[in-house]
Amino acid sequence: MLNQKGSLDAVFQALADPTRRDMVERLIRGPLSVSKLAQPLEMSLPAVMQHLQVLEACGLVRSEKAGRVRTCHIEPAGLRMAEGWIGRQRTEWEHRLDRLGDHLSEQGPTEQGSTERGSTP
């Protein structure tokens, strides 16, 4: 569990950077070479490689080298881990809001009205 939490922290830390989010979004559409991935970014190739290292270290991206070309691929498992955590949070909040709605509907209109308007003698 501690390892998974650390991995989740690393995923969210990696996704906190807009350049890395852009890279992930582009890789979701399909694999790209590092040079294609770097093309629209206004930074040096070594800076792009540093961002890729962060994405690979947290398990969001993997790369493979064929000859002189390094191709990057998205790793769905890393995204699923973040998606699972977000989904659990959403479910918990929906449950809490449902309970609040049930509680408010159990109160009669008289109770709700007096609470909203306040009571004046």
Q: Which pLDDT value is given to residue 30?
A: 95
pLDDT of 117 over the 80 cut: no
pLDDT of residue 101: 81
Please state whether beta strands 32-33 and 61-66 pair in parallel, antiparallel, or not at all (unpaired): unpaired
Tens digits of per-residue pLDDT, 2-17?
345 558 999 999 999 9
What DSSP line would sit under 69-110, residue for residue? EEEEEE-HHHHHHHHHHHHHHHHHHHHHHHHHHHHHHHS-HH
Lowest mean pLDDT among 47-56, 67-76, 87-96: 87-96
- Whole-number pLDDT of residue 94: 82
